[in-house]
Structure 1
Amino acid sequence: MIDRQGTTKRYSDSTRFNGVVYLVEVPTLETGDIAAQTEDLLNNLDKVLAKAGTDKSRLLQVQVFLTDMTDYEGFNAVWEAWLPNGCAPSRACVEVKGLARKGWKVELVLTAAAA
């Protein structure tokens, strides 16, 4: 059975199937530096993960999309402080021309094991 949380006409906050949770998260802020946007995004992600029946210690893979690679170190500083020790997922980080909202600096695509 497929379990979707926060489903709208366009997307679901999370989709769970066969013990795997799939998510995409963006900041609610369209202003601020990469640290502020990343903190905002990760705070929201904690809530979405919990509703989906998992948490940040169960992340399997993350794709990080940055609009400017000069934000790489700023993103990593917040990411590393948020992620529990010994739980780093496989990860890719790429620069993109733009995201769906002009002010967004970061977007994450994540896969996690369900609890």
Structure 2
Amino acid sequence: MSKINRQNTNAILSNSVEYHNFVYLAGMTADDLSQDVSGQTKQVLDKIDAALEANGTDNTRLLSAQIWLKDIRDRDAMNKLWTAWLPAGGAPARACVQANMADPRHLVEIMITACR
């Protein structure tokens, strides 16, 4: 049986799960919730980079992304950072929707699937 590797696990989730060279990240949110959507997006992308690196991969190996915004009108500001972060020609399959967040101070949450 193949091993499932989980990182930063608590009672309700793992920060990441790796199985058969596929890496599934939990939804990532900002730590400093006083920031605007651009500041929070930067924090989230930094957290994604760290989680991917911890699993032996990076943003050149993205397969899919799910993005939740508290206010869909923030999409352009978030996309400015998102597109600068993506490698040329490396955009994943993606969904981006407006959502009620668990904490109303969260403005963006991003969940990634990648491969190694």
Q: Normalising by structure 2, what TM-score? A: 0.93
1:100 maps to which residue? 102
1:10 pairs, out of 12, 17, 24, with 12
SS of aligned partner of 2:14: coil
User: Post-superposition shift, 1:53?
Assistant: 1.5
User: Post-superposition shift, 1:26?
Assistant: 1.2
Query: Number of residues paired by the alignment?
Result: 113
Question: Gaps (5+ residues) in structure 1?
Answer: none
Q: Is the 8 A contact 1:29 1:104 kept in 2?
A: no
Give 1:8's aligned amino acid. N
What is the alpha-carbon root mean square deviation over aligned residues?
0.9
Identical pairs, percent: 38
SS of aligned partner of 1:103: coil
Q: Normalising by structure 1, what TM-score? A: 0.93
Q: For 1:50-84, what per-residue CA distance to the aligned partner results, in whole angstroms no more than 9, with x for missing partners?
A: 00111111010001101101100000000011111
What is the distance in 1 between the residues matched to 2:62 and 2:34? 27
1:78 maps to which residue? 81
Q: Which runs of 4+ in 1 moved over 4 A?
A: none
